[in-house]
Amino acid sequence: MASISLPRVLQSKKNNLEIEHENLVKNMTISISKAVSNHEMPIKVKHVRASIIGTFHSKGGHAFWAIAIRQPIQENRIVAWKFCHLLHKILREGHPLCCQHSMRHRGMLIEAGKLWGHLNDGYGICIKHYTKLLVTKLEFHDRNPRIPGSLALKPGELERIGEGDINFYFQLAVEIFDYLDDIVALQATIFNSITTFCVSSMTSAGQCRLAP
């Protein structure tokens, strides 16, 4: 029986891995691009789900961000708004390393919030508050890396993390309240924008704003 040389076997395996990676990037690119399209309508769940699954296949948030930063986030307000929604879902439900891998892009979120905060059509101020919430979330998980992005802990897990330190629990409570303040502020801003600009919640435009 003819033997197969080792270099050929390794080359074949390498090619298979490369093909798998290319397919992963291609599928994530399609899902992310469709999720943050410039059409004023809510994000489709299937695109969000595919993006989340992609973070597990790529074992983190690097692949997501490599694609996300190529989207016209600073050129189109609808894209920027949908991106905030998608990123929030990724941080909550994506691979556990997504929060850590997203910290390096904190500056981009801050700049996007400043840029769109000057827009007076309702979306601008909403984007400003959403980016603030996302930055708060990233900083929270950076300080508390053992708390998952979903914020869901199993019974007894918080006690193990805090190790009975009353100062830890006090500081955590303060940070959680700050986090909640940003959530409430975003919610109020969205509702105000809908009222101010007379946007019906039954339309695609209204659902686009309310989707998060």
pLDDT in tens, 130-174: 999 999 999 999 999 999 999 999 989 999 999 889 999 999 999
Among the listed residues 20, 21, 93, the one whose alpha carbon sits nearest the alpha carbon of residue 50: 93
Gap between the Cα atoms of 51 and 53, Å rounded: 5
Question: Is the model more confident about 13 or about 143?
Answer: 143
pLDDT for 122? 85
| Summary count for the chain: helices (H), strands (E) | 10, 0
| pLDDT band, residue 1 (cuts 50/70/90) | very low
* Strand, helix or coil for residue 37: coil
Note the residue count of the chain. 212
Read off the DSSP letter of residue 94: S
CA gap 93, 79 in Å, rounded:
21
pTM of the model: 0.89
pLDDT of residue 16: 77
Categorize the per-residue pLDDT at 117 as very low, low, confident or very high, splitting at 50, 70 and 90: very high
- In what helix (H) or strand (E) does residue 58 lie, and over which residues does it extend? none
Other C-beta atoms within 10 Å of 44: how many?
A: 13
Instruction: Look at phi and psi of residue 198 and say left if phi exceeds 0, alpha if psi is from -120 to 50, else beta.
Output: left
Using only C-alpha atoms, the chain has a radius of gyration, in whole angstroms, of 20
List pLDDT tens digits, range 167-195.
Answer: 999 999 999 999 999 999 999 999 999 99
* pLDDT tens per residue across span 42-56: 999 999 999 999 999
Degrees to nearest 5, angle at CA 57 with 53 and 58 = 115
